[in-house]
Amino acid sequence: MFSLEVAAFGGTAVALTLGAKAYTTYHDTSAQLTTPAALPGAPLWPEQLPAPQVTPQGTFLGMSDELLIERMRRGEVKSLRFNRGGSSISFRVDFKDGSRASFKPAQTNPQSVPRKEVAAYRLSRYLGLNLIPPAVMRTLSREDVLGKLAPESAFMRPRVEAETIFENGATTGVLSYWIPTIVNMGLDSPEGVKRWTEWLTIGNRIPPDKIHIMAQLSTLLLFDLVQNNSDRFSGGNLVGAPDGRTLYYMDNAFGFQVDPQGHLRCRSYLARAQKFSRGFVERLRRLDRAAVRAALAEEPGPPLLYDAEIDALLSRRDVALRHVDRLVQEYGEEQVLVFP
Ligand SMILES: Nc1ncnc2c1ncn2[C@@H]1O[C@H](COP(=O)(O)OP(=O)(O)O)[C@@H](O)[C@H]1O
Ligand SMILES: [Mg+2]
């Protein structure tokens, strides 16, 4: 399975199609688990743990990405509600078929750039992750946005009108599949950060019920440097499933600035982690310009990222891998690449 995974990430459009059939994410139970580490007290993947959930490529919460995407592309808007708690213009859209999505229109807020959310989703998919809700670009008319605001959101209308960018009576934004229940995972509070830093430090044991989350968090720290999302620990962007075993990588509309080293915040959070997923690191290593382009081209329409943004992304990938490689050099693979 593992070698198939690697082979599937050959970096061409053909490999991408092959990959879609051949690999599963790092939750795959059949993935090779790492050999127990040699250090006393070093983290193991405890055998007594229930097997991680198998999540085949191309599904999100057990539903096919394609199905969710089709619904979002075609759904007829019934109503919009303003999402509180964020800093940008963001709605929950209810479609007439009963499905839901979040919608972030084109807007004046620089921290909310719709194409970046879709780029993050497509890139995460290519890297074998399925923790970003499926996201698509969609143009909604002014009438759909302003005319269908639910009564409880009517008071936000002046702000929506002021900050949404309408061109020719429409705005092009991002729709993301609406996750019915999310909870704060407590990973961005000062105590939370202190706790996970300890768990992700070589030589410290991870409590068995935290292993899934720690695997997902350490991968997120790498992924956030690659996408240069420095907004992750700003509050409200580290949420997950109520069972405490799944982290969702939500709110990715801010990154991809042309910065070859990556934001200091991304680098300093990554510096707190010393344990990583072997499969994800492999896939990251195999990423190249053609692969990024192919992954992003899955979304029809104008390119999601400019060439300069892709160059900077690949450079940050190198920065992220240097962190992992330095640790491997010092402690050995067995200690560092502890997650499947
Ligand atoms: N796809 C989604 N599924 C469920 N809830 C969402 C989704 N997108 C956004 N939300 C909710 O809306 C809030 C604001 O959205 P977010 O994407 O974080 O925007 P902002 O950039 O304004 O912080 C989130 O904290 C979350 O509670
Ligand atoms: Mg947010």
| Local mean pLDDT, 10-residue blocks, the chain (340 residues) | 32 30 29 33 41 58 95 98 90 98 97 97 95 98 97 96 97 98 96 98 96 97 98 93 94 97 98 97 96 96 97 98 98 97
Choose one of 135, 161, 177: the last residue of a domain. 177
Sequence-separated (6 or more) residues with CB below 8 Å from residue 315: 260, 261
Contacts 24+ apart (CB under 8 A), 10-13: 10/286, 11/286, 11/287, 11/288, 11/290, 11/291, 11/294, 12/290, 12/291, 12/294, 13/294, 13/297
User: Do residues 55 and 69 both lie within one domain?
Assistant: no
User: Do residues 226 and 308 both lie within one domain?
Assistant: yes
Choose one of 133, 153, 177: the last residue of a domain. 177
- In this prediction, residue 84 carries a pLDDT of 86
User: Do residues 222 and 305 both lie within one domain?
Assistant: yes
Distance in Å, CA 185 to ligand 2 centroid: 14
Identify which of 72, 100, 102 to mutate to test ligand 1's pocket (most ligand atoms within 8 A of the CB): 102
- In this prediction, residue 57 carries a pLDDT of 63
Domain total of the chain: 2
User: Do residues 195 and 329 both lie within one domain?
Assistant: yes
Q: DSSP character for 99? A: -
User: Do residues 41 and 188 both lie within one domain?
Assistant: yes
Residue range of the domain that includes 70: 65-177
H or E element at residue 307:
helix 307-331
Looking at ligand 1, which residue's alpha carbon is closest to its atom 17?
A: 251
Distance in Å, CA 104 to ligand 1 centroid: 9
Choose one of 134, 155, 177: the last residue of a domain. 177
H or E element at residue 81:
strand 77-82
**Is residue 164 a contact partner of residue 172, using CB atoms and an 8 Å limit?**
no
Looking at ligand 1, which residue's alpha carbon is closest to its atom 19?
A: 86
User: Do residues 186 and 298 both lie within one domain?
Assistant: yes
Sequence-separated (6 or more) residues with CB below 8 Å from residue 288: 11, 314
Distance in Å, CA 6 to ligand 2 centroid: 33
Residues with CB under 5 A from ligand 2 (ion): 86, 236-237, 251
Question: Which of ligand 1's atoms lies nearest the C-alpha of 101?
Answer: 1
Distance in Å, CA 239 to ligand 2 centroid: 10
